[in-house]
Amino acid sequence: MPASHHHDVLIIGSGAAGLSLALRLPETVRIAVIAKSRIDEGCTLYAQGGISAVTDPSDTFESHIADTLDAGAGLNKPEVVRYTIEHAPAAIEWLVELGVPFTRHAAGGEPDAFHLTREGGHSTRRVLHAADATGRAMETTLVDETRKRPNITLFENHIAIDLITGAKLGLDENRCLGAYVLDINAHRVEAFAARGVVLATGGASKVYLYTSNPDTSSGDGIAMAWRAGCRVANMEFNQFHPTCLFHPQAKSFLVTEAVRGEGGQLLLPDGTPFMERFDERGNLAPRDIVARAIDHEMKRLGIEYVLLDISHKPAPFIKEHFPTVYARCRELGYDMTLEPIPVVPAAHYTCGGVVTDLHGRTDLPGLYAVGEVACTGLHGANRMASNSLLECLVFAAAAAAHIVDTLADTQGPPPLPAWDESRVRDSDEEVVVMHNWDELRRCMWNYVGIVRTNKRLERAWRRADLLQHEIHEYYSNFTVSSDLIELRNLAQVAALIIRSAQLRKESRGLHYTLDYPLTDSSRPPADTVLDPRTFTLDTARKTG
Ligand SMILES: Cc1cc2nc3c(=O)[nH]c(=O)nc-3n(C[C@H](O)[C@H](O)[C@H](O)COP(=O)(O)OP(=O)(O)OC[C@H]3O[C@@H](n4cnc5c(N)ncnc54)[C@H](O)[C@@H]3O)c2cc1C
């Protein structure tokens, strides 16, 4: 008999967004948190630079707002930016109360003051950090706290396949009733029923061949919400982090932007600085400009990487501020206190996602989306560094408050039909899945990467479309395995990214195309919103 679970709230994802939401709910609420890998695995664990908030008396909300709007290139929602930034100090206080060990004491400053660093796009030092492993400090604190709460049950190695909705069950009221979840170890699909469901599944950068993200970032939440009828916006805006360590064994190791914030310089392999040629802010220009400059120089010179040099700073300073980066570089044979290190750009952050409001609500009643999976309107066309952990925390609190307000009036879901068990078995087609996975990610990297063109997008669309059909065939005829679930989601997210990029006939923020190299100032900036009720990603269905 397949297991089924009943909770008040089901949270899919255990990063900063999912766990802080769980902890913000009162202990009277019975909560399930599921994670498709280890409970602490996800982008949050790897965040290095920090979390932005106005905590210094010389800084102002207006300045943080202005910087965020400037980075977002006209597409941020001003009311969301203000809401997030004004709620940031309280979010930091909450983390400090939980015990997150932020680095304190700026040299020459107040002994107990936070040490603030500066990152690209910020006009002042306002990024709190725990050395260079801020995400690890946050995630481990959140996991520890969550484990202490008797009302929260954690399910590791459980991957959500699809949301269960009233519409899918043929009910009059369409709301989210829960999710089908594959218990990866038991190889069994279980129905999780809940009165409120939260997508906190992170982003989709795994759709690109080279990424700073862990394997969990396969866009599952975005694809599940799309299939459940929710609008998805601004998927063309994928941020590429300019500096990942270039090394065959370290393809996803990120070198924090704070290295540039503390004086690190980008250089060509012959030692020539180049950023000043691209932007007057030089090494501290926003990420998209830096990534594009590096991409340009790599293509122009046919080089595999550029260099990042902070060796002019005293060695103790480097080791104290960047212990994680320093240690990882040493493991790989580089000493950043003595020499420049080789770096390349990699897919890093999904600015678009499931459309949500100020309470984290999606289009489907009972379904919330929080964290990188969501498109709240904070980032617009480009996320400013260290605003994303902040968004997770602020919107987790907002969604928790809304859930608390509405839970008592929400009926429990009816009995949910069990999953067809004949569809859960080991696949003899894993090789095909791996091949499709590789093909998709390569195609996205080559055709839908840092610099786009109409022709490249058209090529990418044809391949993504074909892959969607192949995957659909395996999915409906064969098995449910976690690789196949992720591949299906990645293919759908790839299609959403390509279509969104095709719809934007200009360059703006992170979306840069050689066919429309300028920003269109002839009309007001608008989001790219795709609505599954009026738009299909399936060419075959569209053309009949
Ligand atoms: C290397 C790196 C450095 C970064 N540095 C910074 C920084 O300094 N400052 C900053 O603000 N941001 C930074 N970011 C971005 C930031 O870390 C993320 O945006 C943020 O952590 C996202 O949190 P989240 O809770 O939304 O998702 P994540 O932390 O990615 O968690 C996603 C969760 O969803 C689960 N999940 C996904 N799909 C499913 C499914 N189908 N079923 C069940 N569970 C699922 C995963 O298992 C995981 O638990 C960085 C990102 C990276 C990769």
- 3-state per-residue secondary structure call for 396-412: HHHHHHHHHHHHCCCCC
Q: What is the tens place of the pLDDT at every residue in 203-256? A: 999 999 889 999 999 999 999 999 999 999 999 999 999 999 988 776 678 898
Residue carrying the six token digits 């060695």: 315
- Nearest CA residue ID for atom 6, ligand 1: 47
**pLDDT for position 88:** 98
Among 191, 159, 164, residue whose Cα is nearest residue 177: 164
Atom of ligand 1 nearest to the CA of 252: 1
Q: Which residue has the tokens 């990603």?
A: 537
For residue 541, the model assigns a pLDDT of 46
DSSP string covering 165-198: ETTTTT-SS--EEEEEEEETTTTEEEEEEEEEEE
Smallest CA-to-CA distance from 9 within 408, 417, 414, 482 is with 408
What one-character-per-residue DSSP string does 310-335 give?
Answer: -TTS-HHHHHHH-HHHHHHHHHTT--
The reported pLDDT for the residue numbered 478 is: 59
Calculate ∠ Cα 445-238-378, nearest 5°: 175
> What distance in Å separates the CA atoms of residue 499 and residue 494, rounded to the nearest whole number?
9
Q: Name the DSSP letter for residue 419.
A: P
For 102-127, write each residue's pLDDT tens digit: 999 755 656 688 999 888 789 999 99
Closest CA to 194 of 422, 356, 382, 30: 30
Residue 60, pLDDT > 90, answer yes
| Best mutation site among 43, 95, 368, 386 for ligand 1 pocket (most ligand atoms within 8 Å of CB) | 43
Q: Is the pLDDT of residue 4 over 90?
A: no
Asked whether the predicted pLDDT for residue 279 surpasses 90, the reply is yes
CA-nearest of 427, 454, 439 to 494 is: 439
287 an active-site residue?
yes
The alpha carbon of 14 and the centre of ligand 1 are apart by a number of angstroms equal to 9
Pick from 513, 510, 461: nearest CA to 351: 510
Q: Which residue has the tokens 């998805």?
A: 232
Give the number of the atom of ligand 1 that is nearest the alpha carbon of residue 37.
47
Q: Which atom of ligand 1 is nearest to the CA of 202?
A: 27
C-alpha Rg value of the chain to the nearest Å: 22
Average pLDDT, rounded, for the chain? 92
Q: How far apart are CA 296 and CA 302, in angstroms?
A: 10
Any idea what DSSP says for residue 114?
Answer: B
Question: Which of 359, 373, 371 minimizes the C-alpha distance to 406?
Answer: 359
pLDDT value at 540 more than 80: no
- Which tens digit of pLDDT belongs to each residue from 292-313? 999 889 878 988 899 999 999 9
Q: What is the dihedral of CA 114, 119, 125, 130, to 10 degrees?
A: 0
Q: Which atom of ligand 1 is nearest to the CA of 485?
A: 41
Instruction: Say how many Å lie between the CA of residue 374 and the centre of ligand 1.
Output: 12
For 400-406, the CB contacts below 8 A with 24+ separation are 400/21, 400/24, 400/25, 401/24, 401/359, 402/359, 402/360, 402/361, 402/368, 403/9, 403/25, 403/29, 403/196, 403/198, 403/368, 404/25, 404/26, 404/29, 406/196
- For the stretch 430-444, pLDDT in tens is 777 888 889 999 899
Residue percentage of the chain with pLDDT more than 70: 94
Pairing label, strands 367-369, 529-530: unpaired
Ligand 1 pocket by Cβ (under 6 Å) = 12-18, 34-37, 41-44, 46-51, 134-135, 159-160, 200-202, 212-213, 216-217, 220, 254, 349, 371-373, 386, 388-389, 392
Tell me what pLDDT residue 543 has: 34
Residue 429, pLDDT above cutoff 80? no
Question: What would the mean pLDDT of 360-388 be, rounded to a whole number?
Answer: 97
Mutate to test the pocket of ligand 1, among 388, 390, 391, 492 (most ligand atoms within 8 A of CB): 388
Which helix H or strand E contains 162, and what residues bound it? Answer: strand 158-165
Token digits of residue 366: 């009972």
Q: How far is the CA of 372 from the centre of ligand 1 (A)?
A: 7
CB 537 within 8 A of CB 475: no
Q: Of 15-24, 75-84, 204-213, where does mean pLDDT reach its minimum?
A: 204-213
CA of 42 to the centre of ligand 1 (A): 5
pLDDT at 277 over 60: yes
> Catalytic residue among 287, 452, 456, 488, which?
287
**At 86, is the secondary structure helix, strand, or coil?**
helix
Closest Cα to atom 53, ligand 1: which residue?
A: 213
Residue 388 alpha carbon to ligand 1 centre in Å = 9
Q: How far is the CA of 206 from the centre of ligand 1 (A)?
A: 12
Q: Which two tokens stand for residue 93?
A: 């206080």
Neighbours of 290 (CB within 10 A): 26
Mention every residue, 6+ apart, whose C-beta is less than 8 A from residue 21: 11, 198, 200, 370, 396, 397, 399, 400
What secondary structure letter does DSSP report for 418? Answer: P
Whether residue 382 contacts residue 234, with contact meaning beta carbons closer than 8 Å, is answered with no
Shortest-distance atom of ligand 1 to CA 214: 53
- List the beta bridge partners of residue 361: 368
pLDDT digits (tens, 9 = 90+) for 32-57: 999 999 999 999 999 988 999 999 99
pLDDT tens digit sequence for 439-486: 999 899 889 999 999 999 999 999 999 998 888 877 766 568 899 899
Give kind and range of the element (H or E) at residue 287.
helix 287-301
Q: Is the pLDDT of residue 92 over 90?
A: yes
* Angle, vertex CA 238, rays to CA 228 and CA 50, nearest 5: 105
The alpha helices in 364-481, defined as continuous H runs, are 388-407, 430-447, 454-477
